[in-house]
C-alpha cells in the first residue's frame, strides 16, 4: 500500500497556517490569564487589607481567599481554553460535552466524598473558620495551617509532620489563634505560702514582662488572676490567664514561667512536689499494727573491704508514719 506523504504534509502545513496561530494565541492567552488571576487576586485582597487598616488576622484571611479564588479562576480559564482548542483539532464539542455530562453523572455517584469535601470546604471559607497561618485542631490532628482549598486542609505539627485532612472529615474546628490567643496558668505553691503574697508576685512578674520590648508588644492585657482554684494533693493551685496576639501565647507563657520560677526562688516561695503519707490503719482498740523498718548503713569507699554490718531492725507501733 502506497502512502502519499505529500498529502499528509500538505494537510499539516495547512493546519499550521489556518488553525495553528489560533491555538498558539489561545495557549498564550490562557497562560497570561492564569498568571493575571493570581496576581490580581493577591493585589486586590492586599489593597483591601491596607484600606481597612487591619492586622495580621485580616492578612491571613486575605491570603486564604486569594489562593482559593485564583485557583477557581485559573481552572475556569483552562476549561474555556480547552473548549476553544478542541474544534481547531477537529474534535466536535457537542459529543464531548454530552460524554462529559454522562461521565460527570457517573463520577458524581461514585465520588460522593469529593462532593462532600467541596461543599464543606465552601462553608469553611464562607464562615471564616480556618485561615492560612492559624493553629487549629481538626479531625484529631493539630498544627499550623499551611494550605487550604475547597478539598483539603494541610497542617504541619510541632514535630514537622504534615497532615492532609479532607474537608468532609471536619466536624469540629478548634481554632487557637482566631483574632487573639489566651494561655491559662495553673500555678501551684505549698500550703504554707501566703496566697495573697503569691498573687502579688505573679502580678509583678507579669508587669515586668509587659515592659520588656521583646515580649510586651505581644501581650494585649495585664494578667487576669482567677483566684485560688483548687486544693491539690501537695499544693494549692492559683489559676490565671493572659491574653496575647495570635500564636504568641506559647512563647509568652514559657518566658513568664521562667521568670516566675526565678522570682519564687529569690523569695523562698516553695513550688512543691508530690508527698506521700502512709497510714497503717487502726483496730477497734485504737492500736495500729507494727511497721517493720530496715535501716541499712552506707558503706564508705575506704571501708568497702570491711564486712558490712547487719541491718538493724526495729518494731514500732503508732497511728501513722510519713
Provide the edge-to-edge strand list for the sheet that holds 236-244.
181-189, 236-244, 224-231
Domain presence at residue 144: yes
Half-sphere exposure of 295 (CA within 13 A, CB side): 5
CATH number of the domain to which 137 belongs: 2.30.30.60
Where residue 19 falls (left for φ over 0; alpha for ψ -120 to 50; beta otherwise) is alpha
Domain presence at residue 76: yes
Average pLDDT over residues 286-291: 76
Cell numbers representing residue 9 in the block: 504534509
pLDDT tens per residue across span 54-96: 456 666 666 666 677 777 787 788 888 887 877 777 777 777 6
Cell numbers representing residue 176 in the block: 487557637
Q: Which domain holds residue 213?
A: 181-267
103 and 10 housed in the same domain = yes
Answer whether residue 209 shows pLDDT above 50: yes
Domain count, the chain: 4
pLDDT tens per residue across span 243-285: 999 999 999 999 999 999 999 999 999 998 876 667 777 777 7
Average pLDDT over residues 100-118: 69
Average pLDDT over residues 127-132: 86
Spatial contact of 288 and 317, defined as CB atoms under 8 Å apart: yes
Nearest Cα to 212, choosing from 256, 246, 250, 168? 256
Strand partners, 137: 142, 174
Domain presence at residue 223: yes
45 and 101 housed in the same domain = yes
Half-sphere exposure of 25 (CA within 13 A, CB side): 9
183-192, 264-273, 290-299, range with the lowest pLDDT: 290-299
Average pLDDT over residues 195-211: 96
Q: What is the mean pLDDT of the chain?
A: 79
Domain presence at residue 123: no
pTM for the model stands at 0.62
The pLDDT score that the predictor gives to residue 321 is: 42
Amino acid at each position: 500500500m502506497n502512502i502519499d506523504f505529500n498529502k499528509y504534509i500538505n494537510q499539516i502545513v495547512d493546519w499550521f497556517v489556518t488553525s495553528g496561530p489560533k491555538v498558539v494565541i489561545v495557549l498564550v492567552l490562557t497562560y497570561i490569564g492564569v498568571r493575571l488571576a493570581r496576581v490580581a487576586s493577591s493585589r486586590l485582597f492586599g489593597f483591601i487589607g491596607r484600606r481597612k487598616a487591619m492586622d495580621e488576622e485580616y492578612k491571613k484571611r486575605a491570603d486564604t481567599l486569594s489562593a482559593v479564588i485564583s485557583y477557581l479562576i485559573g481552572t475556569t480559564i483552562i476549561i474555556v481554553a480547552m473548549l476553544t482548542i478542541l474544534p481547531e483539532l477537529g474534535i466536535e464539542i457537542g459529543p464531548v460535552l454530552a460524554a462529559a455530562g454522562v461521565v460527570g453523572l457517573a463520577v458524581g455517584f461514585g465520588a460522593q466524598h469529593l462532593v462532600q469535601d467541596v461543599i464543606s470546604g465552601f462553608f469553611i471559607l464562607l464562615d471564616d473558620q480556618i485561615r492560612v497561618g492559624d493553629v487549629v485542631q481538626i479531625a484529631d490532628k493539630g498544627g499550623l495551617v499551611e494550605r487550604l482549598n475547597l478539598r483539603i486542609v494541610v497542617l504541619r505539627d510541632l514535630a514537622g509532620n504534615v497532615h492532609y485532612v479532607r474537608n468532609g472529615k471536619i466536624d469540629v474546628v478548634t481554632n487557637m489563634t482566631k483574632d487573639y490567643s489566651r494561655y491559662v496558668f495553673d500555678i501551684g505553691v505549698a500550703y504554707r505560702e501566703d496566697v495573697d503574697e503569691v498573687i502579688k508576685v505573679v502580678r509583678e512578674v507579669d508587669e515586668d514582662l509587659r515592659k520588656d520590648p521583646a515580649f510586651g508588644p505581644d501581650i494585649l492585657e495585664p494578667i487576669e488572676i482567677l483566684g485560688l482554684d483548687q486544693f491539690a494533693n501537695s499544693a494549692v493551685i492559683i489559676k490565671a490567664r493572659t491574653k496575647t496576639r495570635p500564636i504568641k501565647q506559647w512563647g509568652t507563657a514559657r518566658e513568664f514561667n521562667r521568670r516566675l520560677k526565678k522570682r519564687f526562688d529569690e523569695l523562698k516561695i516553695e513550688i512543691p512536689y508530690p508527698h506521700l503519707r502512709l497510714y497503717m490503719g487502726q483496730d477497734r482498740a485504737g492500736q495500729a499494727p507494727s511497721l517493720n523498718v530496715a535501716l541499712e548503713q552506707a558503706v564508705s569507699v575506704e571501708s568497702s573491704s570491711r564486712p558490712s554490718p547487719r541491718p538493724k531492725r526495729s518494731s514500732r507501733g503508732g497511728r501513722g508514719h510519713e
